[in-house]
Chain A
Amino acid sequence: MNALDYFVLLGTLVGIAAYGIWRTRGTRDLKTYLKGSGNTHWLAIGLSVMATQASAITFLSTPGQGYESGLGFVQNYFGAPFALIFISVVFLPIYRKLDVYTAYEYLGRRFDTKTRLLGSALFLLQRGLGAGITIYAPAIVLSTVMGWRLDLTIIGTGLLAVVYTVSGGSDAVNITQKYQIGMIFVGMGVAFYLLVSHLPADVSFPDALTVATHFHRLDAVDYSLDSHRRYTLWSGLLGGGFLALSYFGTDQSQVGRYLSGGSLRESRLGLMFNAVFKIPMQFFILLLGVLIFVFYQFEAPPISFNQTAWKQLADAPGATGGRLRSLQSDFRAAHAEERAHLSIWLAARRSGDTHAATIARDAALAAHTRGQTAHDQTQKAIHDADPHAGNDADYVFITFILRHLPHGLIGLLIAAFLAAAISSKAGELTALGSTTTVDLYRHVIRANLSDAHYVAASRWFTALWGVVAIGFALFAHLAENLIQAVNILGSVFFPVILGVFLTAFFLRRVGGTAVFWAALFSQAIVFLLYLVLSISYLWFNAIGCLLCMALSILFQLWLSPQPPPLPA
């Protein structure tokens, strides 16, 4: 990065944050601070929901996933449109009718205080730690590649989000997210265009997709019924649907975003915007990775995209260094052979020589397999030496950017990654602050005080959660297992919370005590199943939710065999 890149990077990030602070200065009213001014347009809501959901890892690591495995990950989002329709039809009208600040406030009105506190406590625990990962994950990749200090990267991005979120509340998050996601889209679009223009002159865009097809990178939909496969059409529709339902429907970081709409119409259209554009966005990001894969079939790729980790081992004296250098020689020889065969194959296809094309393609695939074996052995050696080295796929896109894109655009894309981290974190922080204020402080500790008091309290709580998230991010590299634990919490907590909400909506005879104990029991069972079963994590979203609802009915029958009278 040169001075121009740093100017673009700092100018865009600080400029957007400063604009957010300036636009929302002087907010004193609690409703405005926590839910926004009430005139947010549906497009701003849609972009805000998208920006909160799509963290830096979405833009930094997902292309690497496309590079390594192709388009299959897009199936994860197949259930999202149905989930968003369901939320628009069922959840949203109730939240708006009751004019709640948080989703858990609804649980208190439908059931009781203990169920409300259970929902908000699970959210605070999971999302409070998750906010740390939101800034840690891109910071570790960017600091490794750019040579920045990890602690300063975390503190810098974290504090920027804290400052404008604390200052302007929900409106500041909405305003800044609009520009941050715009910057991300522009950066990714230009990167896509330059990537296609960087392909060799004799390789057209359809040729690139043909190469991708024969290397199984365009296999997007898997109709297999095998539950052990991570991404299939069915796990995406059902498991991904429940995952999206719990995340968008019950996670306050999302509920807060769409409740900031001026009316039910604005909130609904904001959700429908995501229902329509979420899959194309993920497809586009994965396709970017697939095209980087094709690009690197014609341009020599590094054997490890995490060059810092590779060089540390390869340059060291001893057997491991020698072995890594030997593997690199094998990898380069295999790649040169593969590239030659690919050119022959494409030329034979164009001339209509099917026989020669088949022979050249098979030779290219065989050479690729040899190169892949050298790559896999290298990755194993790196992880044996340093278990914290991270996933090589996370470094694919950033390596392409730094090696092949012009200055200025490098700064813009790095700014886009950091903006994605900051915008996600801001959405999470404002939700953590509002839940702590409304569900714990105002409801349990100090009720019936002035708006100004609660706004001040919310600012302090938001800042406190910001500090907790930064602190967690600073120490996350010392406890990789903790990060895994937080990710597991996300997979096993929210399905049960969704079960509590669906019980509230549809099982009208179930009361607070029954659903409270059902949630705790089903949570314990889901934990056990998670440890015992080796099925795709997406399935736990359906299992946890349905189990909680079934146990709620059973406990209600046990607690009160005589059902309460139905409302008139």
Chain B
Amino acid sequence: MSSIKNDPPATVSNQPDTDTGLPGVHTWRGIYLLVAAALVLWIILLTLLPHLFA
């Protein structure tokens, strides 16, 4: 097995964006974008929550 020292560090750019096998979202970048979007949505909803029931 080759030494890890000779392997470039894994990054988004040097890995092929393989198929996720999921319907609707076929790339990993798409999944990561969805996860990040879900977080932003949660932060917005939680910020608004006390104002909705004031």
Chain A interface residues toward B at CB < 8 A? 71, 74, 78, 81-82, 84-85, 88-90, 93-94, 97-98, 106, 109-110, 206, 209-210, 212-214, 218-221, 233, 264-265, 268-269, 272, 275-276, 279-280, 283, 504-506, 508, 567-568
Contacts and interface: CB of A to CB of B under 8 A. Distances in A.
A88 B36 CA distance: 14
Interface in B1-23: 1, 3-12, 15, 18, 20-22
Contacts of B12: 89
Contact of A280 (B8, B32, B42): B42
List the 4 shortest-distance A-B pairs measured between CB atoms, nearest first.
Answer: A220-B46, A209-B53, A218-B50, A213-B53
5 contacts: A221-B43, A265-B20, A283-B42, A505-B10, A567-B6
A93 B4 CA distance: 12
A567 B35 contact: no
Contact of B4 (A90, A110, A268): A110
B20 to A, nearest CB: 7
A213 B4 contact: no
Contacts of B36: 81-82, 85
B52 to A, nearest CB: 8
A507 to B, nearest CB: 9
Nearest to B36: A81
A275 B5 contact: no
B5 to A, nearest CB: 7
B8 to A, nearest CB: 7
B28 A88 contact: yes
A220 B49 contact: yes
Given A85-B36, A272-B31, A506 B50 contact: no
B10 A89 contact: yes
B49 to A, nearest CB: 5
Contacts of A506: 9
Instruction: Please classify how large the interface on chain B is, using the bins under 10, 10 to 19, 20 to 34, 35 or more.
Output: 20 to 34
Nearest to B38: A276
Contacts of A221: 43, 46-47
B4 A109 contact: yes
Contact of A90 (B10, B32, B46, B49): B10
A283 B42 CA distance: 10
A221 B47 CA distance: 6
Contacts of A568: 6
A272 B31 CA distance: 8
B49 A218 contact: yes
B12 to A, nearest CB: 5
A283 B8 contact: no
Q: Which of B7, B12, B20 has the most CB of A within 10 A?
A: B7
B35 A85 contact: yes
Nearest to B33: A85
Q: Which of B6, B20, B22, B28 has the most CB of A within 10 A?
A: B28
B22 to A, nearest CB: 8
Contacts of B18: 264-265
B39 A265 contact: no
A135 to B, nearest CB: 32
